Amino acid sequence: MLNYALLLYAAPYSHQAALSALRFADTVVANGHRMKTVFFYHDGVHNASALMAPPQDEVHLADGWRRLHHEHGTELLVCVAAGLRRGLLDVSEANRHGAVSHSLEAPFALTGVGQLIDAMLTSDRMITFAP
């Protein structure tokens, strides 16, 4: 069994890379491996938005990532700097910045690039999905 990590740069619904990353992750676990970490970076942080509401006939990417976490324990890590720049704040950051609302909820977690480096060092494979 191999431990995999993903690095996702692509925003949801604007490029095929986000859906491909989710399908890849599902295939990894279906083949008996472990999807240890997904790190959302640059525009990829939008995959973690709690405000995402795609049409019912489209894949709900945020729900897909949440399912992966709940069924397989996958860490869903969002770059804090990239997230804040793009308006993705958890409750703590929303309070700290005086925002009226938040747009990121568990199981997604704001974190630094140190966690990305840790994922690279502790996984057997790191796969990048970018536009």
With beta carbons less than 8 A apart as the criterion, state whether 108 and 78 touch.
Answer: yes
Separation of alpha carbons 35 and 74, rounded Å: 6
Domain boundaries, the chain: 3-129
How high is the mean pLDDT in each 10-residue block of the chain (131 residues)?
Answer: 97 94 98 98 96 92 97 98 95 92 95 95 97 91
The pLDDT score that the predictor gives to residue 15 is: 86
Q: Any idea which residues carry the catalytic annotation?
A: 79
CATH architecture of 3-129: 3-Layer(aba) Sandwich (3.40)
- 48: exposed, middle or buried (Cβ count in 10 Å: 0-12, 13-18, 19+): buried
Separation of alpha carbons 96 and 75, rounded Å: 24
Q: Whole-model pTM? A: 0.95
What strand order describes the sheet that includes 3-8? 108-111, 75-79, 34-40, 3-8, 125-129
The pLDDT score that the predictor gives to residue 41 is: 97
Separation of alpha carbons 69 and 120, rounded Å: 19
